[in-house]
Structure 1
Amino acid sequence: MLTNRIKTVFVSFVILFSITPLFLVAQTFTLRGKVLDADTKIFVDGASVTLKGTAHGMPSTGGGNFKFEKVAKDKYTLNINAEGYTTYEQVVNLRNDLDLGEIFLLKHGAAGTGAAIQHSIRANNIMRLLNERPNFMGGNMIYGLPPQAAEVEGDNYLDIKWNTASLLLYKDQKMLEGYRIRYDISSNSFEMLAPESNQISRLAGLRVQNVVWVDSVYKVPRYFVNGMDFLDEGSPISGFFEVIVDGELPLMRRTMAVFKESNYNEALMIGNQNHQIIKRNIYYYLDEKNVIEVPTKRKQLYLIFGEKAEQMKEYINANALSIREPSALFQIFTYYNAMFPDFKPITTRLVEEN
């Protein structure tokens, strides 16, 4: 069962446009780091290292090192690109001289990348779109007035609230306990507040095997497993699945964050003027290591229950359950798994954020 493997266990989405008056002399700092291959731990020279939206950019040299000098105090998005590797991005809050230490790049085709990236919930294109284009809509000015700036509605967090959690790391099965966390869907990373501290740190999702957090509102535990341990059409998956029902046939949920650009027509004054980040839940069942989307048609759903298909059909019909409703799926899979010995529900209620 999945719960046997779930042990008690930043990249914030930031868009910052700042204008510094010319008469102010900004305090400056140094930012440095070292780029390495995640698998071989060998340095990567020639990687393009930039601070988005600034003139700061250089290749990594002399053993994967980079160093930016005279950088003004601010928040920046560090971007690293190297041929054959996935793009790396990190938000840096520069308040003092800062050494980022070793930064690891994943090769295309490495475990958890390659074909899996195409099935990923990482949406780096969202940040890239908003950083590289003006924050004003296109179109002509009306009577000499510029159009109102488009804003972004919504957020990239699985849960915007801070929840107390325990995280099990892949490396040495190390446990991090007592942290308050938020999970950023688009960057597949965790923002973490250390116990009795307000300092935020970031932890890449690919380092975390399992997460258990206690929902701060519903006061129930929620269990999450890394998609890298499963297969979608034969490839590992980037991102996390929430285990809703464990047992013989687990039910899991994956939350996607999709960027929807403004469709406002200024001439006709119709449409949505702001960009939107829309989150939607997709439900899966687990067949060995394969995650498969739960069918939305009754006949196909009955088939996944094998020899108990007819019994499940009778149960669903007798209770007039709509298989498109998350609460009904929770009830259906709980009923099915309860037919097998040693079944214990991991939660008694379904927490729905969206």
Structure 2
Amino acid sequence: MITTGGGTGTGNGTERSEGSPDAVVHLYQELRRRGVSSLGEVGAQLRLSPEEYERCRCELTDLGLIVPTNPAQHGARGELRAGGVGGGPPRESAGDEAGDGDTVAVIDPEIALLRLLHREREQLREHLDEADRAYDTLETLAGAFLRAGSLTRADADVELLSDYRRIQQVLEDITDVIQHSLASMHLTSLRREVGERVLSRDRRQIENGVRVRAMYSEQACVSPEVAEHLRRRVEAGVEVRIASAVPMPLIIADEQFAVVPVDPAEPAAGAVLARGPALVRSYLALYEHCWHTALPYGDGSAPDLGGDGLSEQQRAALSMLASGMKDEKIARGLGVSLRTVSRMLSELMQEMGATSRFEAGVRAYRLGWVD
């Protein structure tokens, strides 16, 4: 904010300010001392060069610290800002009529600031209105495809995708609008460049709170390159499991979209996009069955299961959960990472149909899984 007091005044108004970085302050202070006055006349008395005068005039006008008082100019600051009073300070006044042409009034800095903020707010509101209109247009064009939540339990739609580029675009579109979960099956490994895009997408989705699961067949995991890719996905937070056999490639998003092959034996035949829970539920049930029979990536053998189907580690985790322990303490008690504990408890809660940690503990106790 420009200050107007102290020892920076111009005294008799004839101090030379040319080349000074404070010339605009000197000009403003002198204008404020005089009240309504000729901008060009004051600039000449301060001995401002045409360039310095122009710079000061533009800055004071843009900041709203001066406004024209000539009735022909009032309310049209563009003329003053554009140099309507000449490219430099006049050497002398040509009389009252000529002097009125560049007469300006000085505005208090506080008032100028409030006006500037108001102008910026109005511009921001216009930009927001434009963004809202653009969003409404895109939403209308996208239709139900981008509004996953608009699909009710009775809604169902199927689209046959025969063009490879269309399939890739559909996959990109789906993964961009995921809000809760992404589950996938893979018969083969991914090319390196595709794998990098998948990792980048994994990180973005997990940061947004999406649960990402991926299942691979044992045959797809024989090469060191694939093993490294899976290791990096696990490090990113993806839940990865390995199955002795995967029935077909499959992608399920938010229990609303599923992409499956037209013919699992012939990948080049195209894909089917299924929309709506009425269709996706069956594919999700198949996926969950395969998921629970597969092994977490990195496990060399199946865990020892008790009569309740739980491993000792799962049983211990449930017991600690039921006693009120937090995930960090459970991880220390089991000697595993926090990510492993979070994944394990999430799988157990899903298997029991529990929607909260408290409900999971209660159900585990009722099922006799914990003492």
TM-score normalised by the shorter chain: which range applies?
under 0.3
Instruction: Report which structure shows greater RCO (CA 8 Å, sep ≥6).
Output: 1
Structure with greater helix percent: 2
TM-score for both structures, normalised by structure 1: 0.22
State the TM-score, normalized to the length of structure 2.
Answer: 0.21
Quick check: which one's strand share is greater? 1
